[in-house]
Amino acid sequence: MNKQQQQLNVNIDIKNTRPITSPEGNSVFAEGVILRKVSRFVTGTSEDGIIPIPCFYDVVTGKVLVELLPKEIRDEFINDDSNHTMD
């Protein structure tokens, strides 16, 4: 077994974790996907490509948990009134 496989087998006591809640106090989230288009000139193919980016959103408000997004696209969602960051 290599070192990476050993690191994945870490036992974590759930009592040593903290809940993630939205600013509204909601704690149930769903997984969604943000789709990004990549120019065919960048991909080197005959058509534009699509990159799916997994995200989580509050099921009550529909707001994306911005802090869990890749840093490169967070700014696009921070200024959007329908999205927010975690507390």
Reported as a single tens digit per residue, the pLDDT across 1-44 is 555 555 566 788 999 999 999 888 999 999 999 999 999 999 99
* 1/7 Cα distance (integer angstroms): 10
* 34/42 Cα distance (integer angstroms): 19
* 25/6 Cα distance (integer angstroms): 36
**Does residue 4 lie within any of the structural domains?**
no
Angle at the Cα of 78 (from 77 to 81), degrees rounded to 5? 85
Q: Residue 68 in 3-state DSSP?
A: helix
Domain count across the chain: 1
| pTM over 0.75, yes/no | no
**Does residue 10 lie within any of the structural domains?**
no
Structure letter (DSSP) for residue 22: -
**Does residue 8 lie within any of the structural domains?**
no
Would you say 57 and 64 are in contact if contact means Cβ atoms under 8 Å apart? yes
Asked whether residue 55 carries a pLDDT value surpassing 80, the answer given is yes
**Does residue 11 lie within any of the structural domains?**
no
